[in-house]
């Protein structure tokens, strides 16, 4: 990943289609430069890399009011996400999954898990390669879970431990095998793993229109805690839904 500190704004570029790794984290502005000057520098940074300038907008964004400034500048809102939190103990004791689903967990990222992830998520080419590169650079302790029906991996999920928290990432199920209890089985398994590592709390982000996933997380006693979204400046602005 290529990243630079722009007067307290962490400007990140990793390629591919992942918003988080290709966005600005404006959390620690020292405000030595005017916002407009920093925005121009950010837009130049992404323009040189062929990427749309994108900001991660959370409750702690600095300076306050930056979201409104971005909107006025033509940045559109996307990726509206709700972060859920809960106790690892509750997640680990989640209800049993379907007897048709078996699960496996490894603590080293391997090509088999990556291949299953990209197949379930319908990703390929440079996007898949960029995402694989990002995942291979994860430094905290991590585990990679797979759900199997028959002889086929139908869902995967990743858990990352950091500062006593379990973070769930890349939870994806093959569309043909949804509503079989695979995601529940994976989260429960990762919760058991994290509990054994001494983790107490867990967090997971889900886009707010994914109602099925939100219902599952609430069944596992995870509650909505805060929201975030992205602001992107792109010539390829998506159509407004009506």
Q: Of 65, 58, 54, nearest to 17 (Cα)?
A: 54
Give the C-alpha separation, 1 to 12, whole Å. 7
Taking 70 as the threshold, does the pLDDT of residue 31 lie above it?
no
**Global confidence as pTM:** 0.85
Domains in the chain: ranges and CATH: 2-74 (no CATH), 84-226 (3.40.630.30)
Q: What is the mean pLDDT of residues 11-23?
A: 84
Q: Over 50: is that where the pLDDT of 240 sits?
A: no
Which pLDDT belongs to residue 21? 86
pLDDT tens figures, 71-121 = 999 999 999 999 999 999 999 997 666 778 999 999 999 999 999 999 999
Could you count the other beta carbons within 10 Å of the beta carbon of residue 35? 18
Kindly state the percentage of the chain with pLDDT values over 90.
69
Per the DSSP assignment, residues forming a β-bridge with 161 are 166
């Amino acid at each position: 990943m290529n990243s630079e500190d722009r007067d307290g704004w962490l400007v990140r570029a990793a390629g591919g289609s992942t918003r988080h790794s290709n966005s600005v984290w404006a959390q620690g502005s020292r405000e030595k430069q005017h916002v407009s000057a920093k925005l121009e520098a950010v837009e130049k940074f992404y323009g040189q890399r062929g990427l749309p300038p994108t900001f991660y907008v959370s409750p702690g964004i600095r300076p306050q009011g930056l979201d409104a400034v971005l909107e006025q500048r033509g940045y559109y809102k996307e990726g509206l996400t709700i972060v859920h939190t809960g106790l690892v103990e509750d997640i680990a004791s989640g209800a049993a999954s379907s007897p048709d689903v078996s699960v496996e967990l490894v603590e080293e990222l391997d090509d088999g898990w990556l291949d299953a992830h990209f197949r379930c998520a319908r990703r390929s080419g440079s996007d898949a390669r960029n995402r694989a590169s990002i995942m291979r650079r994860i430094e905290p302790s991590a585990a990679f879970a797979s759900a199997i029906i028959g002889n086929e991996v139908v869902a995967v999920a990743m858990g990352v431990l950091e500062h006593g928290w379990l973070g769930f990432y890349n939870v994806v199920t093959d569309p043909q095998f949804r509503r079989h209890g695979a995601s529940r089985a994976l989260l429960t398994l990762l919760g058991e793993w994290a509990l054994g590592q001494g983790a107490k709390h867990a967090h997971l982000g889900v886009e707010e229109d994914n109602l099925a996933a939100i219902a599952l997380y609430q069944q596992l006693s995870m509650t909505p805690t805060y929201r975030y979204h992205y602001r992107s400046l792109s010539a390829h602005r998506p159509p407004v839904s009506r």
